Structure 1
Amino acid sequence: MGFASISTDLYLPAMPAMRAALGASPGTLDLTVSGFLIGFSLGQLLWGPISDRYGRRLPVTLGLLLFIVGSAGCALADSAPALVAWRVLQAAGACVSVVLARAMVRDLYSGAPAARMMSTLMTVMAIAPLIGPSAGGWILAFGSWRAIFWTLAGIGVLTLAALWTLPETLPAQRRTREPLRRALARYGALLGQPRLLGYLGVGGFFYGGMYAYVAGTPFAYIEVHHVSPQHYGLLFGLGIVGIMGANLLNARLVGRFGGDRLMRAGAVGAALAGVAAALAAGTGWGGLTGLLLALFFFVSCTGFIVANAITGALDDEPAAAGAVSALVGATQYGTGILGSAAVGLLADGTAAPMGWVIAVFGIASALSAAWLVGSRAGVAPVPAR
């Protein structure tokens, strides 16, 4: 589950250096985040149904091989467009591990135990973005930005070796037998489920704001507020600490209050924090501290939104966990494309575009949560085949 985070967070401190080395225009390197999200979101739509038919281990193996090749291609890229293209391939491989990790949880758990397990896994997953920017900053201090991508290729190789310790969680008797083309067509039927759309909207719009944060903070912290690349990792890590704390709290509270209630509270909190971030970025209120605090509270809402939204969606359609997990991931990272791209396209030399993009997506997440409240009854699951 950490591949999504580490694939981007490790090179965030190097983005200004990469832009200078490749002669890219302002905002162009933000497209390496958007390109990654394109491959990540679309790839999940294919790998989910494949895993429902053939099990989890084989697709993860193939995905890791793609990730290794894509990472090596990024390290050898000699232009910004080439780097973006290799990032798409890298993401098409990285997404397999993430989407199928969620499906594996649903293979083994359901309801509140699934939400607790998802929160626990996401707490562990948060270690990757916690150490990623700092590690990337130190790699950059002793090497070049290309060494960061060679490091990612090495992580892929090590994970591929470690995969042999992971058992298959979807036995043959529980796999779907429908043709792949029919499984892909079922996405339309799944999107006709109002409650599932609600869960997709809450998590998806929130991820749009999160990836605006990922794409925008290197410029906002390093260039606008003159933070060093090494210290950028520490500031980025503060948000991850908030995510980990919120995930642990969610795991404790979900059995008492229910995932939907905690998810709605998190979405409202994200909307309020997003507006505060927009005001801080646009007016300079509070300087770096004001912006940092608003963003800290925004990203901390991850702990109450993401695990509960994923669990709710998977519990609605347990017979198609791989496909639903893929649809959840495609929605989340698809809106991430919009969020990161918007920051690059609206770049004006200030942190204001990042702040307002985060605010808009936070409000949209809260509105989806409110819509979800009114669409809980009368929804029949889509048949497995």
Structure 2
Amino acid sequence: MNKTRTANGNKKRQRSAIVLLMTMVLLGVFPLDVLLPSFPALAEHFQNKPSAIAFSISLFAIGISLSQLLIGPLSDIVGRKGLLISGMVVSIAGATGCVFSTEYMWFLIFRMVQAIGCGCFVLSQALVQDMFEGKERDQLRILMITASGIFISISPLLGSVLQQLFDWPGSFFLFIVLALGVLSIAYFLLDNHHVNSHPKEDIFCAYQRVLSNRSFVGYWLIAAIAFACHFSFIVISPLIFMDQLQLSTYEFSLALLLYGAAYIAGGIVARILANRLAPKVQIVLGLALIFCSGLLMLFFSSTFELSTMTVLIPMIVCTTGTTICRPIATSKAMDVFPENAGTAASAGNTLIFILGGLISALINMSTDNPQMTLALAFLLLSTAALVLNSLISRRLELLNVG
């Protein structure tokens, strides 16, 4: 009887943990994309240009990157629970300040406050490392990557609905409600223990130690390359669909919704393969699909006129590859330093933000033929990642022999 109660209690705790993690994944992408349809309304409210409102998105990304660099290592020392709850309180305060801002400068300040609080979402990877093991951990990371892609894809459509119903504050109201949910679950679910085996190690030394490991950096680079392919498409998609194909905002949102559906299919394939293939084979297969998507997009761009399907079909193949290789590469990286999960997650996520931002910015500079540029980028990036995976595998084989 006691064993049954314990088992049921553990299952309930795991279900609550999954709800917490999924909500954190949603809130990690929600504040960026959901605000896009509200740019004209924000520009009118603050009597500013839409380009100035776009600056708030860049500022938000910078705030998250800087915040997570500190939050991850601190969580290894003081625990995850307190930092996650504190981050939620700060982000809610920032979102509330944005709603009541009457001047653009105050809006930017409170937007930065919200971003600093959102830096605590980097703890999702550390919590997965703390609370799950083995195949269960890998499966959950696949689910999180799949959910992230879906949330990114549906955010513009959700933003359009919120804009129509509640004007531009609508997205901030929904963020506050979801953040309160995360705060409540974290308060009742999490223990504030930490597992750092180097309690006196300062943050700089912690980063130096994890970043000096070639396998750790290599696996995170593979994950970052897979993310960069997806993120570059998201960044450049308005140029392709709205500027070149002249789709309306609603039609553009539906196109991204179809792209999000591909993440579900990719996630299902990834979950099946995770139980049947070795990690390094999963990585190779995922990167090979990204390479094939580049070839397919190159073929379509040179053979057919630009259309919604000539863009989406290769991206569905790319998405499948991303959902296969990125979760397992992340798991392999996080397994290198399980005792420093916070620091490891912060280092890896910062690398993903930097690489994704740089590559998407370079691709965005090509305004003449973005589809061709995107195809070439997929080919180069997947090739580089395949070479990197081969070097990591060879190095680990030599270490095992030695």
Q: TM-score, normalised by structure 1?
A: 0.83
Preserved contact between residue 276 and residue 294 of structure 1 (Cα < 8 Å): yes
Query: In the alignment, which residue of structure 1 is the partner of 2:193?
Result: 171
Which protein has greater RCO, CA pairs closer than 8 Å, 6+ apart?
1
Identical-pair percentage? 19
Preserved contact between residue 73 and residue 206 of structure 2 (Cα < 8 Å): no
Displacement, 1:130? 4.8
Root-mean-square deviation (Å) = 3.3
Equivalent position to 2:245, from 205, 216, 225: 225
2:172 counterpart of 1:149: yes
Q: What is the SS of the residue equivalent to 1:227?
A: coil
1:27-54 CA distances to partner (integer Å, 9 max, x unpaired)? x665444433322233222111111111
The 1:190–1:162 alpha-carbon spacing in structure 2 relative to 1, beyond 3 Å, is closer
Query: In the alignment, which residue of structure 1 is the partner of 2:15?
Result: none
The 1:215–1:130 alpha-carbon spacing in structure 2 relative to 1, beyond 3 Å, is closer
Displacement, 1:59? 1.0
1:301-333 CA distances to partner (integer Å, 9 max, x unpaired)? 321122111101011222211111111111111
2:64 counterpart of 1:44: no
Q: Which structure 2 residue ranges, 5 or more long, are not aligned?
A: 1-24
Preserved contact between residue 201 and residue 365 of structure 1 (Cα < 8 Å): no
Displacement, 1:277? 4.4
Query: In the alignment, which residue of structure 2 is the partner of 1:307?
Result: 327
Displacement, 1:219? 3.8
| Aligned equivalents of 1:115, 1:338: Cα separation in 2 | 28
Query: In the alignment, which residue of structure 1 is the partner of 2:345?
Result: 325
1:247-293 CA distances to partner (integer Å, 9 max, x unpaired)? 22212211321222212221232234246547767997342221222
Preserved contact between residue 196 and residue 339 of structure 2 (Cα < 8 Å): no
Moved more, 328-337 or 39-48: 39-48
The 1:151–1:249 alpha-carbon spacing in structure 2 relative to 1, beyond 3 Å, is same
Q: Which structure 1 residue ranges, 5 or more long, are not aligned?
A: 381-385
Preserved contact between residue 221 and residue 232 of structure 1 (Cα < 8 Å): yes
Equivalent position to 1:186, from 206, 209, 217: 206
Displacement, 1:132? 2.2
2:380 counterpart of 1:363: yes
Equivalent position to 2:49, from 9, 21, 24: 24
Displacement, 1:84? 6.0
1:120-147 CA distances to partner (integer Å, 9 max, x unpaired)? 3444455533542221111223343343
Q: Greater Rg, structure 1 or structure 2?
A: 2
Moved more, 293-302 or 270-279: 270-279
Q: TM-score, normalised by structure 2?
A: 0.79
The 1:83–1:280 alpha-carbon spacing in structure 2 relative to 1, beyond 3 Å, is farther
The 1:275–1:153 alpha-carbon spacing in structure 2 relative to 1, beyond 3 Å, is farther
Return the letter of the residue paired with 2:91: F
Equivalent position to 2:183, from 133, 150, 160: 160
Q: What is the SS of the residue equivalent to 2:246?
A: coil
| Aligned equivalents of 1:20, 1:213: Cα separation in 2 | 29
| Aligned equivalents of 2:39, 2:184: Cα separation in 1 | 30
Alignment of 1:1-12 (within 5 A): 1-12=25-36
Q: What is the SS of the residue equivalent to 1:48?
A: helix
Preserved contact between residue 64 and residue 94 of structure 1 (Cα < 8 Å): yes
